[in-house]
Amino acid sequence: MEGQSRLKEYIRFFGLNLVGNYAYAMGVQMFTAPHHIAPGGVTGVATIMNYLWGFPIGLTTFLINVPLLVLAWLHISKGFTIRTAISTAMSSVCIDLLVVWMPQYKGDALLASLFGGALMGVGLAAVYISGSTTGGTSIVSALLQKRFHHIPIGKLLMGSNLVVVVLSVFAYGNIDSALYAALTIITSSLVMDNMIYGSNTNRVLFIISERSDLIRDRILVELHRGTTLLNGETGYKHEHLNIIFCVVSKAQFYRVQEITRSIDPHAFIVGCTAGDVLGKGFKHFD
């Protein structure tokens, strides 16, 4: 049974990553790159380098990610790094090899930014739901967040993307490309958030396990979410145990399940939807 469960997990992971990275690659090769739109992140940097020197976008993206993956291995977690490395490699292959035969859209740049952003949002959502990331600014932001705890990771991501958008102004020599890039990023974020979160953003979790310390540490390191340990007692044997209480996003909920299952297959998880969550890492108090 455990072998079958692990096989299903692998199939789900690689299936979501293949679909997600293929959709993301279509957004880049078919829509944004032909119109000189650098859609933020490492892919945006690679798009600029492709325009200036003809470097392949996929390969350049992967090479830029290599030192970031090394840092993630050392300072974040090995599991996170392995999953991200697989996603990054698949994305690079899709961009340079699997979608290059598809026709490029040479029409209106506004439509290119919208459709490109939508496809990229679909792709990113699938990758994040699988429990992985596409690397790049996700790694940079996670590393910076470990150093600057008071800055929300979302703002760090936005800042990283803004730097790339500003660079595109100098690379392409016009402001239009930067404006279209901003529109692409906004569209991608909206589509991704809608697919991942829908109308119910957060999940409240109670995790009952004899290995709560290990689960708590993994949640903190890999998801950057705080937890609270509640004192509990088993009803039958009256044995003491810690109960993990935490609030995560819908996308992170799937990852918490994977983390818990990998550490303690016999753990018990209770999850419910939170209508509203106020505090650090979520919505600010008015």
Q: Is residue 258 part of a domain?
A: yes
Q: Is residue 279 part of a domain?
A: no
Q: How confident is the model at residue 150 (pLDDT cuts 50, 70, 90)?
A: low
Please tell me the predicted confidence (pLDDT) of residue 86: 96
- Is this structure's pTM higher than 0.85? no
Q: How many domains does the chain have?
A: 2
Give the C-alpha separation, 49 to 102, whole Å: 21
- Same structural domain, 191 and 210: no
Token representation of residue 64 = 């830029």
Please tell me the predicted confidence (pLDDT) of residue 104: 94
Q: Is residue 51 part of a domain?
A: yes
What angle (nearest 5°) sits at the alpha carbon of residue 75, between those of residues 70 and 269? 115
Token representation of residue 26 = 């279509």
- Same structural domain, 116 and 230: no
- Same structural domain, 190 and 232: no
pLDDT at 88 over 90: yes
**CA-closest candidate to residue 90, choices 118, 116, 121, 126:** 126
**CA-closest candidate to residue 25, choices 86, 96, 85:** 96
Q: What secondary structure does DSSP assign to 188-228, as a single string?
A: HHHHHHHHHHTT--EEEEEEE-TTHHHHHHHHHHHH----E
Please tell me the predicted confidence (pLDDT) of residue 91: 96
Q: Is residue 284 part of a domain?
A: no
Residue 255 lies in domain? 202-274
Q: Which SS3 state, helix, strand or coil, does residue 114 take?
A: helix
- Same structural domain, 116 and 151: yes
CATH number at residue 251: 3.30.70.120
**CA-closest candidate to residue 144, choices 154, 153, 133, 132:** 153
Q: Is residue 235 part of a domain?
A: yes
Last residue in a domain, options 177, 196, 215: 196
- Same structural domain, 93 and 189: yes
Please tell me the predicted confidence (pLDDT) of residue 187: 94
Backbone angles phi, psi at 246, to 5 degrees: -155, 160
pLDDT in tens, 30-86: 999 999 999 999 999 999 999 999 999 999 999 999 999 999 999 888 888 999 999
Give the C-alpha separation, 214 to 164, whole Å: 37
Strands 202-208 and 228-233: unpaired
Q: How confident is the model at residue 6 (pLDDT cuts 50, 70, 90)?
A: confident
Last residue in a domain, options 196, 220, 240: 196
- Same structural domain, 118 and 153: yes
Please tell me the predicted confidence (pLDDT) of residue 279: 65
- Same structural domain, 223 and 110: no
- Same structural domain, 265 and 142: no
pLDDT in tens, 97-137: 998 889 999 999 999 999 999 999 999 999 988 888 888 88
Please tell me the predicted confidence (pLDDT) of residue 234: 82
pLDDT at 16 over 90: yes
Is residue 102 within 8 Å of residue 32, measured between CB atoms? no
Q: Is residue 10 part of a domain?
A: yes
Q: Is residue 285 part of a domain?
A: no
- Same structural domain, 188 and 242: no
Q: Is residue 53 part of a domain?
A: yes
- Same structural domain, 192 and 206: no
Please tell me the predicted confidence (pLDDT) of residue 183: 96
- Same structural domain, 216 and 248: yes
**CA-closest candidate to residue 36, choices 216, 178, 202:** 178
Last residue in a domain, options 196, 230, 265: 196
- Same structural domain, 190 and 207: no
Q: Which of 122-136, 146-160, 186-200, 221-235 has the lowest mean pLDDT?
A: 146-160
Torsion angle (degrees, nearest 10) of CA 183, 185, 186, 188: 120
Q: Which amino acid is at 167?
A: L
Please tell me the predicted confidence (pLDDT) of residue 81: 92
Give the C-alpha separation, 117 to 24, whole Å: 9
Please tell me the predicted confidence (pLDDT) of residue 273: 75
